[in-house]
Structure 1
Amino acid sequence: MNLNLSNSNYKLIILIMVIVVAGMSQGMLLPLLTILLDRSGVSADANGLNAAALYIGIFSTVFFIEKPVRRFGYKPVIMVGMGMIILATCLFPLWQQTAVWFVLRLLVGVGDSALHYATQLWIVTSSPKERRGRNISLYGMAYGLGFSLGPIGITLLKIGIWFPFLITSGFFVIVLLLVRKLTNERPERGERIEAIHKRASMVFRLAWFPLLTSLLFGYMEASMNSNFPLYGLRVGLRESDIGVLLPIIGVGSLIMQLPLGIWSDRIGRRSILIATGFIGALAFACIPFAGSNPWWIGLLFGVAGGMVGSFFSLGLAYAADILPRHLLPTANVIASIQYSVGSIAGPLIGGFAIGYLHVASMFYLISFIYLLFALSGLIFKHKAA
């Protein structure tokens, strides 16, 4: 049967597959590389700094990625981004040196940012209004699914250090071949470049609370995947336990993604974000009291992931409720920048806290920022644009 892959439904399926594989790659690389560096004697703070390289690459890409997307279209940018990730992933086992891995992680970050920006914008701009919210939720669920499956790659280390990297690269190659069959498209011509600062100022004024979700999500995600392996090893967890526990956050997010989206439609996204922020803060604060019991840690991970794992998509949906449509691309860029800032800060602050404060301090810090977020929601007022 010859399928028309330019059809929007098939295009959405392939783009969702891209996000699943990208999530798997990121979910695997963060804890896997952290464990391998810890094995070689790298300190917790240096390990966190090395992990932050990926997000430095993501952050730097946000400032120039719009031009190539407008000039060449979505498809070439996605393919180049995937090619960069495949190349870097295959090179990791060759040179197990911190300096080399820092550069390779930068390369992964640039490729990851490019494919995420182009894929997300392609989905949003090509989705009809009545299905845009659903499609954004599918995007979030796809990334959550991939990210939750990624840490399972840690268990493949017993076969050989090459094996996890080759498996991830193989998935990327398969999806890359599917992307080649898509018909390329370009975004519509936007407003004049002189209006960027004005639009950004208006976005912050109208939607500062919804956009905080991207900052918090990036901090939590990067800190958990980069710093939790260090925490786990120090409290007595096995590497196999860590590989099983980390996906539970993503599983919790997947289970609660649609219910939270439906409830936010009915009772308001602000109320849902405040409630989930409070519950998530409590769950993270309780994790140190679970000690090295993987069952209790897993339960708390599931609750925390279920509450805050949908923050990015819920925040974008809330921003879309508040902002006029012409400001949504600007909000998307701002959310990407804040996600990158949070992702860079997470491993750095968490690694420093584990190394110089207390091993459990990473969870108290995450709990504190979610509590502040929930409290800030109580003073946020929705202003008409």
Structure 2
Amino acid sequence: MFNNTARTSTGADSNQTLHFVILILAIIVAGLSQGMLLPVLAIFLEQMGVSSTMNGLNAAALYVGSFSMTLVAERLLGKLGFKKLLLCGLLLVIIALPLFPLVPGIAFWFVLRLLVGIGDSAIHYVAQLWVLMVTPAANRGRNLSIYGMSYGIGFSIGPLGISLLDWGMMVPFVIMAAVFIVVALLVWWKLPNGAPAKGESTTPEKGRFGRSYRLAWYALIPALLYGYMEAAMNSNFPVYGLRIGLSTDNIAFLLPFIGIGGLVLQLPLGMLSDRFGRKKVLMLAGGIGGLLFMLVPFVGTKQILLAVIFAIAGGLVGSFFSLGLAYAADILPRAYLPAANVLASFHFNFGSIIGPAVGGKGIEMGSPSSLFWVLGGCYVLFALFGWSFSEKSK
């Protein structure tokens, strides 16, 4: 995959392990920033009297930035290489984070969220493509699950930033920026320079996106659903919770359970998919997870029951991005993996953009429960669509 010093087969095992750990740390902080920004800013805007629709649309800016990055990620990677693109992503987030509390306002926050989205997307693209292309097929589910777990760790811890607001509006943002600086220094000092090998990303085959869709459309849907769920829950659930009578402390307590469930079940689901097939695992997890989300409106403000449902449902669908990407890698020729990576990121960001907008509109129209009816229904439909998908030869 890599030329020069980035070729993993020529490095010592200790160096390979260190490089992998640093990449995992980068993914953790990317999840941390998104997990913190979405609920913290949603609460700020709700308290400022901003409508739930505008609140959701402002949150979607994060994913508009991420979406725009996917359009140029393949070519930027060819020009900059892995290390430089990763550093650029980290630096963008470092610059944007401290500016949120310094200049509060919906218009300026929209721009800052765009920058954070671009930065986080660059981090994701580099790390997930690295893991995807160097992992043997027999271990693909397991290793991509470790990648997904790393993001889940950060995303689960992120909402705890709500509690740091008691110390001042600046505190969570300054702490987050400091963590990013530490990771950026590790990347700068310890990760090797390298670029994609010729023919893999720098000279992509024409028509690769269309053929990837034809061969693996079902495997690419999980990324969209995961993005929709993640953004809707972190942007709309704080508003939903406040509307039905939950406190901000209740919301801060409940949101991490979705990520915690994903952390617990991600690796087992990945290993099960290696053994029994990814399609079967995706269909089963999506169907059960969707039904559980649809139960949430019936639970009301019962915090313990909500936590249990979030943990189980989040655990089942929390591996959708990594399992879907692994499934696409099973189906597609190796030369199409960079394109599949772009498409998965594209789907994730598209789902993340429409999630807060759809959820916020439903809440504004007087139907908070629609947040979970639509979310759960999408996963159930995905499970049913699985019966119509058949894998074609490469």
> Partner residue of 1:168?
176
Partner-residue secondary structure (3-state), 1:342: helix
The CA deviation string for residues 136-165 of structure 1, in whole angstroms up to 9 with x for no partner, is 221111001110111011111111111111
CA distance in 2, matches of 1:212, 1:376: 10
The CA deviation string for residues 17-58 of structure 1, in whole angstroms up to 9 with x for no partner, is 000111111100000000011111101000001000000000
Partner-residue secondary structure (3-state), 2:64: helix
2:231 to 216, 222, 234: 222
Q: How does 1:115-130 map to 2 (within 5 A)?
A: 115-127=123-135
Q: How does 1:209-358 map to 2 (within 5 A)?
A: 209-358=218-367
Kept in 1, the 8 Å contact 2:141–2:323? The answer is no
> Partner residue of 2:45?
37
> Partner residue of 1:189?
198
CA distance in 1, matches of 2:97, 2:201: 38
Kept in 2, the 8 Å contact 1:90–1:165? The answer is yes
CA distance in 2, matches of 1:227, 1:144: 19
Q: How many residues are matched?
A: 383
The CA deviation string for residues 332-362 of structure 1, in whole angstroms up to 9 with x for no partner, is 1111111111000000101001101401111
Kept in 2, the 8 Å contact 1:6–1:183? The answer is no
1:158 to 154, 166, 172: 166
CA distance in 1, matches of 2:75, 2:205: 14
Kept in 2, the 8 Å contact 1:48–1:350? The answer is yes
Q: TM-score, normalised by structure 1?
A: 0.96
1:94 to 98, 102, 125: 102
Q: 5+ unaligned residues in a row in structure 2: which ranges?
A: 1-10
CA distance in 2, matches of 1:192, 1:15: 20
Partner-residue secondary structure (3-state), 1:215: helix
Kept in 2, the 8 Å contact 1:280–1:303? The answer is yes
1:360 to 341, 361, 369: 369
Shift of residue 107 of structure 1?
0.7
> Partner residue of 1:73?
81
Distance 1:150 1:231, change over 3 A: same
Shift of residue 318 of structure 1?
1.0
Larger deviation, residues 3-12 vs 116-125: 3-12
Partner-residue secondary structure (3-state), 1:378: helix
Give the aligned residue type for 1:29.
L
> Partner residue of 1:379?
388
Shift of residue 129 of structure 1?
5.9
> Partner residue of 2:63?
55
Q: 5+ unaligned residues in a row in structure 1: which ranges?
A: none
Shift of residue 130 of structure 1?
5.9
Give the aligned residue type for 2:289.
G
CA distance in 2, matches of 1:262, 1:70: 32
Name the % identity.
51
2:72 to 64, 67, 74: 64
Give the aligned residue type for 1:324.
P
1:7 aligns with 2:15: yes
Give the aligned residue type for 1:213.
P
Distance 1:225 1:196, change over 3 A: farther
CA distance in 2, matches of 1:228, 1:191: 41
Kept in 2, the 8 Å contact 1:245–1:298? The answer is yes
Larger deviation, residues 268-277 vs 258-267: 258-267
